[in-house]
Amino acid sequence: MADEFMTEERTALTATVRDFTAEHIVGNLPEWERTGDIPRELHKRAGDLGLLGIGFDESVGGSGGDLADGYAVTEAILSAGGSGGLIAGLFTHGIAIPHIIDSGNQDLIDRWVRPVFAGDKIACLAVTEPGGGSDVANLRTVADESGDSWVLNGSKTFITSGARADVAVVAARLRGVSGAQGVGLFAVPTDQPGYQVTSRLQKMGWHCSDTAEFGLVDARGELITEQGFASLARHFATERLSLGVTGYATAARCVDLTREWITQRETFGRPLSTRQVIRHTFVEMSRRTDVARSYIRNMTLSDEVTVLDAIYAKQTGVNCAAFVTDRAVQLLGGMGYVSDGEVERHYRDARILGIGGGADEVMADLAARLLGL
Ligand SMILES: Cc1cc2nc3c(=O)[nH]c(=O)nc-3n(C[C@H](O)[C@H](O)[C@H](O)COP(=O)(O)OP(=O)(O)OC[C@H]3O[C@@H](n4cnc5c(N)ncnc54)[C@H](O)[C@@H]3O)c2cc1C
């Protein structure tokens, strides 16, 4: 099948990212999985190469290119031995920074967007609260106007890079305005006493990506937009697509690792790959991965991705990753189950994909409404 996704430019980009991953990530990943975060130095290296700004306009410090280029980076990191958790930690700004760029506020762009793309600063997005993540319109963190800035009070949880970030893009309720209309977005510097990290959460997977719980106690923030819910909704499609990409890219890596294993591992005097049950399982893993990859890649090239498209992409990538990582563990036997094995890590990492960025049930419900039910 012709592959319009892998242009010459993206092939070159992929090679660069694979080299970067091999040189700076793969050997260090087990240690970062143990320590629970990735070093700032990696952000700097990625920034120097222009990787953090891919898909963002040069006028705001980005590296140019389009969304599909960003997804090619995800594919390359995973295919070279990186991980979904590493991508979540290194590229957290991808879900935070677009809101600041959209605001057109040059001061905020100069202070936060450019340094983040350069790898000098880290940004996170804080929407979810201990009271719930799916029902964004009902969040409880409150913002009160106070002179030139705003004062925020409340708490956030499950925030990727929330412990390391220099700035949090925080969703908070404009005091006195209920429902979705009352959700604003604020740039909250984390180097102030009112930004209090209360916990670095231990998780099933994504160990190298810090996931924080934090309180806001009279924390100072600057308004990005009063239309925060609309801004979040606008960018959900990109986030969901990217989680779909992480899904099939994780599956593709597991297909590679499984092929290597079943062709080398011998039982009862023959390689596993000679057994029909193994061959058929492997074919099904490959087929599902190819179908998910071409469906989602094709969508990333489209001029307009609808909300429904993005939900389908996410569901397709999530289901593909769930099946393939599970079968990969099975075919590797005990080696698939032991900790610190790459397949075991992908199996655990992939589990978040159906929860974060819109959980499966909530996505299915939204899809049903979009289908007129
Ligand atoms: C590792 C990790 C990283 C994360 N990173 C971030 C981040 O950077 N920023 C951020 O803001 N959030 C982040 N999250 C939060 C994530 O977006 C939420 O976990 C997710 O939105 C679900 O919210 P919840 O956990 O509160 O579950 P709930 O909303 O309590 O839902 C629990 C379950 O019920 C289902 N459910 C909910 N409502 C309905 C319904 N009406 N009908 C049927 N089923 C329903 C859900 O699908 C889910 O299965 C992260 C979470 C994790 C685990």
pLDDT per residue as tens digits for the range 26-59: 999 999 999 999 999 999 999 999 999 999 999 9
Q: How confident is the model at residue 3 (pLDDT cuts 50, 70, 90)?
A: confident
Q: Is residue 3 part of a domain?
A: no
pLDDT in tens, 174-223: 988 999 999 999 999 999 999 999 999 999 999 999 999 999 999 999 99
pLDDT in tens, 291-332: 999 999 999 998 889 999 999 999 999 999 999 999 999 999
pLDDT in tens, 231-273: 999 999 999 999 999 999 999 999 999 999 999 999 999 999 9
Residue nearest to atom 23 of ligand 1 (CA): 133
Pocket test for ligand 1, best of 128, 206, 239, 318 (most atoms within 8 A of CB): 128
> Look-up: residue for tokens 């106690």?
217
**Residue 148: predicted pLDDT:** 86
Q: Is residue 1 part of a domain?
A: no
If asked whether residues 15 and 63 sit together in one domain, one would say yes
Q: What is the 3-state secondary structure (H, E, C) of the chain?
A: CCCCCCCHHHHHHHHHHHHHHHHHCCCCHHHHHHHCCCCHHHHHHHHHCCCCCECECHHHCCCECCHHHHHHHHHHHHHCCCCHHHHHHHCCHHHHHHHHHHHCCHHHHHHHHHHHHHCCCCEEEECCECCECCCHHHCCCEEEEECCEEEEEEEEEEEECCCCCCEEEEEEEECCCCCHHHEEEEEEECCCCCEEEEEECCCCCCCCCCEEEEEEEEEEEEEEECCHHHHHHHHHHHHHHHHHHHHHHHHHHHHHHHHHHHHHCEECCEEHHHCHHHHHHHHHHHHHHHHHHHHHHHHHCCCCCCHHHHHHHHHHHHHHHHHHHHHHHHHHCHHHHCCCCHHHHHHHHHHHHHCCCCCHHHHHHHHHHHCCC
Residue where one domain finishes, among candidates 118, 143, 166: 118
If asked whether residues 237 and 320 sit together in one domain, one would say yes
Check: CB of residue 223 under 8 Å from CB of residue 208: no
Residue nearest to atom 25 of ligand 1 (CA): 133
Distance 132 CA to ligand 1 centre (A): 7
Contact residues of ligand 1, CB 6 A cut-off: 124-128, 132-134, 158-160, 203, 206, 211, 352, 355-356, 359-362, 365
Pocket test for ligand 1, best of 134, 135, 318 (most atoms within 8 A of CB): 134
**Residue 1: predicted pLDDT:** 58
Distance 75 CA to ligand 1 centre (A): 25
Residue where one domain finishes, among candidates 227, 246, 269: 227
If asked whether residues 342 and 237 sit together in one domain, one would say yes
37: Cα within 13 Å, side-chain hemisphere = 17
Interatomic CA distance for residues 43 and 311, integer angstroms: 30
Q: Is residue 260 part of a domain?
A: yes
Q: How many domains would you assign to the chain? A: 3
Tell me the residue range of the domain where 23 lies.
8-118
pLDDT in tens, 326-371: 999 999 999 999 987 999 999 999 999 999 999 999 999 999 999 9
Angle between the 228-264 and 93-103 helix axes, to the nearest 10 degrees? 150
Residue nearest to atom 14 of ligand 1 (CA): 158
If asked whether residues 276 and 164 sit together in one domain, one would say no
Distance 133 CA to ligand 1 centre (A): 5
If asked whether residues 96 and 151 sit together in one domain, one would say no
Supply the CATH number for residue 137's domain.
2.40.110.10
Pocket test for ligand 1, best of 139, 157, 158 (most atoms within 8 A of CB): 158
If asked whether residues 23 and 41 sit together in one domain, one would say yes
Supply the CATH number for residue 344's domain.
1.20.140.10
Residue 2 in this model has a pLDDT that exceeds 70: no
pLDDT in tens, 10-30: 999 999 999 999 999 999 999
**Dihedral sign, Cα of residue 168, residue 169, residue 173, residue 175:** positive
Q: Is residue 30 part of a domain?
A: yes
Residue where one domain finishes, among candidates 118, 139, 163: 118
Percent of the chain with pLDDT over 70: 99
- Which atom from ligand 1 is nearest to the alpha carbon of 135? 29
If asked whether residues 149 and 194 sit together in one domain, one would say yes
Distance 357 CA to ligand 1 centre (A): 7
If asked whether residues 167 and 213 sit together in one domain, one would say yes
Residues 6+ apart with CB under 8 A from 101: 56, 57, 60, 109, 113
**Residue 339: predicted pLDDT:** 85
Residue closest to 124 by CA, chosen among 104, 100, 141, 102: 100
Distance 354 CA to ligand 1 centre (A): 9
Pocket test for ligand 1, best of 203, 318, 355 (most atoms within 8 A of CB): 355
If asked whether residues 87 and 165 sit together in one domain, one would say no
Mean residue pLDDT of the chain comes to 96
If asked whether residues 271 and 313 sit together in one domain, one would say yes
Supply the CATH number for residue 31's domain.
1.10.540.10
If asked whether residues 154 and 186 sit together in one domain, one would say yes
Q: Is residue 294 part of a domain?
A: yes
If asked whether residues 308 and 211 sit together in one domain, one would say no
Distance 125 CA to ligand 1 centre (A): 14
- Which atom from ligand 1 is nearest to the alpha carbon of 203? 1
Cross-strand bridge partners of residue 187: 169, 222
pTM above 0.95, yes or no: yes
Residues 6+ apart with CB under 8 A from 198: 155, 213, 214, 215
Q: Is residue 350 part of a domain?
A: yes
